[in-house]
A = this chain, B = another copy of it.
Amino acid sequence: MNFQPRPDEVRFLLQTVLGATPRLRALAPFAEFDGELQAQVLDEAGKFVAEVIAPINRSGDEEGCRFADGEVLTPPGFRAAYQALSEGGWLALSAAPEDGGQGLPAVLEAVLFEWLSAANHGLTMAPGLLHGAYECLRHHGSEELKQRYLSKIASGEWLATMCLTEAHAGSDLGQVRTRAVPQGDGSHRVSGGKIFISGGEHDLTENIVHLVLCRLPDAPAGPKGLSLVLVPKRLPDGTRNAVHCERIEEKMGLHGSPTCVMRFDEATGWLIGEPNRGLAAMFVMMNAARLHVALQGIGLLDAAWQKAAAYAQERRQMRAPGPAPASRGSEAADLIAEHPAIRRILDTQRAWVDGARLVAYRTALQLDIARHDGDAKARERAQRWCALVTPVLKAACTQQAFHGASECLQVFGGHGYVREWGIEQVLRDARVTMIYEGTNEIQAIDLLVRKVLPDGGAGMSALLLELRDELDAARDIEADVQRRLAQLRYLGTTVVMAAAADAALPYEVADDYLRVVMLAMLAWAWARIERAAPGEPRWSQPVAAFRRWVLPEFEMRLGIVKRACEAVTLTRPAA
């Protein structure tokens, strides 16, 4: 089965649980935004995704992209679907009206991209970095560059890439060697090789705008000597620029998206932002891009869950233990959905999808607040949320996409391993999300070493207090979550102390710390959902699975981090 968006469930999370509508209306650009408009956009988006995007997912994987003579052919149907996506205005959903956008909240765009990824991860890669490129250019581009490229990128009429990685420079961008030499006329000549460039070449749009991380002559070594240069495939006069795709990678999955090896041979480009401030210009879009990867993870897990849930309601094998289920009838075997092992898989993955969604949508809402709130303190709080929660979501949701999709595959037995059922594609596609936009190990280090420790844990502590205050201590379940949030605050102090004694320690426990934060946030999310829909089986079944099988990892990880810290603080003197 193809992925089917559920706008009703998203509306429940956004409106009923998060109260998004009044919060958005308090922001100047969205003063007119109401529940009805939101419902309309979500319903239309859901229909579009189901009818245009989802049906070409399997064929996109089977056919894949083809490379010949420097040209890349995307799978049959991709070009038409992409054009419908762009021409329908879907890519400009949250772009500013002055750039031809619809000026809708980022949170709606987040939902759309979650669904697009769930329906067709390969195709969705094409516009995946578009919004980031738009923001980057909008904030750092010269007037001339904006004039020439901004509205084309906002609408998706031209696609964009981020050219960062080189063969020897992956996580370590400081080692980038691609050179940009100023020509005196304001342009630069860019030379070098880049790898892992998603959509570096394709037949979806007439022009492709590359944002290339490179080094000016005499730039300082390391990450502080990097500049960002815009290099279009076609120059303003229509001629072909000296940027070429040398080959596309054969990958484990994501065959609908060409991963290109790119060659720049004195290609013409223009600087975006200040010289040697390329990383800063790029980081504008980092949080939004990483949140989108987290949403890919959530979407892919939901797609896997939908397939498995449907199969479990058709396939019969053996008698289920315990009292006869209503679905038994005269059949010799019960639906596998009635077997505890299958029920557990389905409810547990559902708990991940719903809980992670609530955290992700709230994060997208914070992006809107960070951009548009009139109150500087509110903007700062929202930025803090995005900085701290985004790496957590990116790592945890992509890990769960892969591992949870594998659980869903297990529901199919041997059929799950066979391509025709489509579930194995989800695993293969999802695997890359644990790597790109910063590997999950880098996310954990980003969270703990770069964001929690530098202010002695104060920012994270404030965020945890914010969450605590949204819960009601009079309700047992919410009080339990409050207790966990308090443990997490205390854990922050413990790690800060230990890090002072051993600089390597935080790197060793970063993964566990990130997991424990995610589990606490899921517990917070489910407490909020449960309060909004008490006793409804649609939500009470997953939350029961969450408490039984997911949440116990909280204590386990907490213990791992604590013991590691104690070992350090008890045995080594503070530095």
Taking Cβ atoms with an 8 Å cutoff, the residues of A that contact B are 165, 169-172, 174-175, 195-196, 221, 249-253, 259, 317-318, 320-322, 332-333, 339-342, 344, 402-403, 406, 409-410, 413-420, 424, 427-428, 431-432, 434-436, 439-441, 444-445, 502-504, 506-508, 510-511, 548-549, 552-553, 555-556, 559-560, 563-564
Contact = CB atoms under 8 A, between A and B. Distances in A.
B409 A431 contact: yes
Given A417-B435, A439-B413, A503-B321, A549 B560 contact: yes
Contacts of A417: 251-253, 431-432, 435
Contacts of A171: 317-318, 413
A507 B321 contact: yes
Given A172-B317, A341-B441, A560-B549, A435 B418 contact: no
A318 B165 CA distance: 14
Contacts of A249: 418-419
Given A341-B441, A344-B511, A436 B410 contact: no
30 contacts: A165-B414, A170-B317, A170-B413, A171-B317, A171-B413, A172-B317, A174-B318, A175-B317, A175-B333, A196-B414, A249-B418, A249-B419, A250-B419, A251-B417, A251-B418, A251-B424, A252-B428, A253-B417, A341-B441, A341-B444, A341-B445, A341-B511, A403-B403, A403-B406, A406-B431, A410-B439, A410-B440, A413-B435, A424-B431, A552-B559
B402 A504 contact: no
Nearest to A345: B441
Given A251-B418, A419-B251, A511-B341, A322 B504 contact: yes
Closest 6 pairs between A and B when the two form their complex, measured CB to CB = A322-B504, A252-B424, A341-B441, A172-B317, A340-B507, A250-B419
Given A174-B318, A414-B436, A556-B556, 15 more contacts: A250-B418, A250-B420, A251-B418, A252-B417, A252-B427, A322-B503, A340-B508, A341-B444, A342-B441, A403-B403, A413-B439, A417-B432, A417-B435, A428-B428, A555-B559
Nearest to A249: B418
Given A321-B507, A344-B511, A419-B251, A560 B564 contact: no
B410 A402 contact: no
Contacts of A340: 504, 507-508
Contacts of A428: 252, 428
A410 B252 contact: no
A559 to B, nearest CB: 6
B321 A504 contact: yes
A431 B502 CA distance: 39
A564 to B, nearest CB: 7
A413 B431 CA distance: 11
Nearest to A434: B410
Nearest to A557: B552
A340 B432 CA distance: 22
A339 B507 contact: yes
B413 A402 contact: no
Nearest to A559: B552
Contact of A402 (B318, B406, B548, B555): B406
Contacts of A195: 414
Contact of A556 (B420, B444, B553): B553
A427 B432 CA distance: 13
Nearest to A423: B252
Nearest to A174: B318
A397 to B, nearest CB: 16
Contacts of A434: 406, 410
A571 to B, nearest CB: 15
Contacts of A414: 165, 170, 195-196, 435-436
Nearest to A252: B424
Nearest to A412: B435
Nearest to A339: B507
A559 B548 CA distance: 10
A8 to B, nearest CB: 30
Contact of A322 (B169, B502, B511): B502
Contact of A552 (B165, B445, B503, B556): B556
Contacts of A510: 341
